[in-house]
Amino acid sequence: MRWVLLALCGCNQIFGVHGELVRADAQQFDAPTDAQPYCPAFGTLPAFSPLAHEVIDQECFQYTFSSSGVALANCRRPTTGQLDLVQGPIDSVLDEPATGLDRGDENHAVDGLHISPDGNAAYLESFDLGQTTTTIESYTRTGPTAWTRGPDITQSILAGASSPSRGPEVHMLLFDRTAVDLHEVILTGGAPIPVRTIATTAPPLQVWLSPDGLRAFVLVDSLAPRYVYLERPQLDADFTAHEPYTSLPAVAVFINEDCTRAYLSDVSAVFYVPQI
């Protein structure tokens, strides 16, 4: 499938499959409006359009948002021109600093930002450059834009974590980018409770877990990136894997709760591809 990124702004920019920038008439490439306002039933794979619409004209990374309407990302702030962890309304320019979240320094870097479906918790990866270990940090929202650090979830060489499911029993998929397999856990505020191990064909790179915990999009293999789609009919069941899953480009994505949009933010702006 050929992937293009369609920027629905005045410049009508289109990014081709090899990243080249082309200018074209937007009407020629207009996609239909978002369809199927729900996630597909078990056994049916979601399908997304190959055309990506620009939704926020701002350089952002790790764009994520809650069902309560709070978006978090690492963005270049319009007021300062600097990259920062910021928050604000969904599908809008983000410029309000998310105070209390780890921003890294000369000794460690942060990545892998997630927010809980209710908007009251956040998680990120903190990589210690000296110890070469990664810690999954947790945060609780204590004010409109204030966050307080809570207990760490796990630590390993290149630890990673999925977005969390909705509570009260919060599920998360943990992994290490140096090894295969995902490890499903329940977050308790203390040591996570192991639930099951999910085999993968290559080391996971990034994982989105749906708020109901029934679906996951797993980006695997740094040498030949591709997606694996996981699904299950209920929370206590094992996942069924579908690979290869080719309806998304091999870049980090965030899916909204009803699966109508997949957001791509690790490019020059924030885009989405609609479900078809």
pLDDT tens, position by position, 72-87: 999 999 999 999 999 9
- The predicted pLDDT at position 267 comes to 80
Give the integer Cα–Cα distance in Å for 172 and 134. 17
Q: Where are the alpha helices (DSSP H) in the chain?
A: 26-29
Question: What is the domain extent for residue 69?
Answer: 58-274
Q: Does residue 45 carry a pLDDT above 90?
A: yes
pTM of the model: 0.87
Flag whether 240 is in a domain: yes
Residue 10, domain member (yes or no): no
**What is the band of 173 on the pLDDT scale with cuts at 50, 70, 90?**
very high
**Which DSSP string do the residues of 24-71 spell out, in sequence order?**
--HHHHPPPPP--SSPPPTT----B-SEEEEEE-S-EEEEEE-TTSEE
Return the closest-CA partner of residue 212 out of 38, 34, 88: 38
Residue 28 within any structural domain of the chain: no
Within-domain flag for 93: yes
Q: How far apart are CA 61 and CA 74, in angstroms?
A: 5
Residue pair 84/104 in contact (Cβ under 8 Å)? The answer is no
75 part of a folded domain: yes
Over residues 221-235, the pLDDT tens digits come to 999 999 999 999 999
Question: Could you give the number of structural domains in the chain?
Answer: 1
- How far apart are the two ends of the chain, measured CA to CA in Å? 14
CA distance 88 to 96: 6
Instruction: Name the least confident of 35-39, 95-99, 124-128, 239-243.
Output: 35-39
In a domain, residue 40? The reply is no
More reliable by pLDDT, 92 or 11? 92
The verdict on residue 243 lying in a domain is: yes
